[in-house]
Structure 1
Amino acid sequence: MTNPIIERLQAQLEAGKDSPLLRFGLGSALFNEKHYEAAAEHLRECVKQMPDHSAAWKLLGRSEMALGNDAAAAEAFERGLAVAQEKGDVQVEREIGVFLNKLARKRG
């Protein structure tokens, strides 16, 4: 069974209503369904359209991490960390720190 939220967001995108928040919502819904490649695709577009979206950078990093793309994950987390620090987004900053530590432990 397909997720109705994903279907609705994809329909909006196909209707030409592209926006960073639509891409973030679609990427987030796809991530939650474990469709990491598709999630990463939409999240990459989200941060391209809105580079200061720290939560999108964090979720992009998590998507890349789930795909085993550790270098891309680290890059997304680092970009997200810089944005979060610049915006004073302490919660996202903490969460990204946790994921960066996981990556560091994985790398040995």
Structure 2
Amino acid sequence: MTKKIINIVIIIGLLINISSCALFHKPIDERTGFSGYLKQTEEYIKSEDWEKAKLSLEDSKKIWEKLKPLLQIDIDHDYVNSMEEYLEKLGGYIEGKDKGNSLASILTVEDIWKKIGSM
């Protein structure tokens, strides 16, 4: 009986270990509200409320820094690097009040986040 339990625990552990982060993306997003902050940043950019966009981006970056170690285990590092690159560019575009590039960057960040969730 104990061998069966041990085997079941090992199998469950292996399945969890090899599972995709897609299983955890939605719960992580619900707990952290990361996509909500990104959407909020997008809305501030569209309305050209640059101060609020900057603050919302800072909140998004703080959440990203907490999420990154959890996600790096399971996803391609190119996604992590792209996310970081576009978040940094977005900060510069917001600082320069460049609506076009800010929107392009935030939409790219949102798309990367969706792709991470579909893995």
Q: What's the TM-score bracket when you normalise by the shorter of the two chains?
A: 0.3 to 0.5
Of the two, which has the highest radius of gyration? Answer: 2
TM-score relative to the length of structure 1: 0.35
Q: Structure 1 or 2: larger helix share? A: 2
Higher relative contact order (CA 8 A, sep 6+): 2
